[in-house]
Amino acid sequence: MASLFPRRLLGRRNRATQTERVRERKHEGFLRYANFRWAKISGGLCLLVITSYALIDVTPRPNGGSWYGYTLGTIGALLILWLTALGYRKRKMTRDAWSLKAWTSAHVYLGLSLIVIGTWHTGFQLGWNVHTLAWALMMLVILSGLYGVIVYATLPAALSNNRDEMTQMQMLEAIRAFDRQLHAAAQPLSPEDTAPVLASLDEDPFAGGIRARLSGRYPKDATAAALRALSLSHGGNADARQKVIGLLSQKEAALARLRAHLRIRAMLEIWLYVHVPLTFALIAALSAHIISVFFYW
């Protein structure tokens, strides 16, 4: 091996690994990676673009077809392809200088710099055409990514608080336990009283569409309805009913925790449903944009 890899290279590699270990110990996330190295690079790039745009006099007026526009456009298009490659890169984790963390850090900050590169490439000429479509898709992708970064930075704490040292399956298991107890406790109830309990048992804790997931509101919740129905019920076995009511409110609490968990997870994940499909729409629009320019040269 030593003959295959020069000692010098191995040394550098070891040093890089060493630095990475220190970073890991310090719990340095992708945002703060290497003391905001990529934030600085990206910020510098934006500043360069903005100042040079102001200094360079493109006649008759700035647009994507000037030499400056071509330059920004080429940089932007290559950057978009490289940023898309994160989807491939993230499936291959490494710990070196170009670790996934470094890559993600660069992805986030260079992606944000694309706002300036792409927008200044347009020369602020927007219209109802494929060129502006590509720009708009790019902005949507970037903004959804920005949202993703923000929720990644803020929501995990809420997620952790909510789960109260329980795993997801433990949350589900709690509901299952309450269901079993409910089933047993409700046996003495009259048929009128068992119907709402049965409805609560039949309810899927994962039911509800994307709207319920994101809002955390389940207006047709059967457990809450059962609780209401039993509280109003009279006659029959009152002791058994009280026990069922107690179990129902406990199940309700467990359900609320699970649903809060689902809501936070939905908010953590929803941006990817914009970010990823629109990225491919963007690449398609970008291809159409570039081909159209050369087609009607």
Partner 1 sequence: MSFILRRISTTKTGKQIVRDQPLPGASITLGRDGGNTIHVADLAVNPQHATISSADGRHVRVQASEGLGFDLNGRTLDIADIDSAAGAELRFGGHRLTIAREGENIILLVERIDELSQSSKDVDEARAFSLAAVMPGRRMGAWAFALVVLLAFLIGPIWAWHSYRSVDVRPQGYHADKAWLSGPLSSAHASLKNDCQACHVDAFVAVTDKACVGCHTGEHKAMSASHADASTAMLLAARHPPGVGEKVLAGFAKAFNKPQGRCVECHTEHEGAGPMPPTPQKFCADCHDGMASRLKAAGFKVDVADAGDFGTAHPEFRPLVRAAPGAKPARAMPGTGPLVDYDGLKFPHDVHLAANGGVARMAASFRGQYDFGKKLECQNCHRPDADGVRIKPVVMERDCAMCHSLAFETVGGVTRTLRHGEPDQVVADLYAYYRSTPPSRPLQLGGMERRRPGQYAEGQLYNIYFREVAVRPNRAADAVRAVFSKGGACYDCHTIFAPASGNNWRVMAVNQTPRYLEKGWFDHDAHKATKCADCHTAAPGSKAASDLLVPGLRQCRDCHVGEGGARLVKVETATESPCAMCHEYHSDGGKPWMPARQRKVNSAAITHKPLAAIYDVSLITGTEGRGLYDVTWRTPSLHGARRGG
Task: Looking at residues 160 to 179 of the shown chain, list those that interact with partner 1 (rule: CB under 8 A).
Answer: 168-169, 172, 175-176, 179
Task: Looking at residues 79 to 108 of the shown chain, list those that interact with partner 1 (rule: CB under 8 A).
Answer: none
| Binding test (CB under 8 A) with partner 1, winner from 34, 66, 155, 225 | 66
Q: Is 50 in the site for partner 1 (CB under 8 A)?
A: no
Let me know if 230 is exposed, middle or buried by CB neighbors in 10 A (0-12, 13-18, 19+).
Answer: buried
Sign of CA dihedral 11, 14, 19, 22: negative
Q: Mapped to the 3 state alphabet, what secondary structure does 17-85 carry? A: HHHHHHHHHCCCCCCCHHHHHHHHHHHHHHHHHHHHHHHCCCCCCCCCCCHHHHHHHHHHHHHHHHHHC
CB of 150 to partner 1, least distance (A): 18
Closer residue to partner 1, CB minimum distance, 99 or 144? 144
| Binding test (CB under 8 A) with partner 1, winner from 130, 139, 143, 151 | 130
CB of 112 to partner 1, least distance (A): 22
Q: Is 135 in the site for partner 1 (CB under 8 A)?
A: no
Closest CA to 287 of 76, 64, 77, 63: 77
Task: Looking at residues 238 to 267 of the shown chain, list those that interact with partner 1 (rule: CB under 8 A).
Answer: 261-262, 265-266
HSE-CB at 78 with a 13 A cutoff on CA atoms is 6
Task: Looking at residues 205 to 224 of the shown chain, list those that interact with partner 1 (rule: CB under 8 A).
Answer: 205-206, 208-210, 213
Closest CA to 54 of 134, 116, 130: 116
**Candidates 6-14, 37-45, 105-113, 286-294 — which segment interacts with partner 1 by CB under 8 A?**
286-294
| Binding test (CB under 8 A) with partner 1, winner from 61, 91, 92, 234 | 61
- Decide: 105 and 42 in contact? Cβ < 8 Å: no
| Binding test (CB under 8 A) with partner 1, winner from 2, 59, 165, 219 | 59
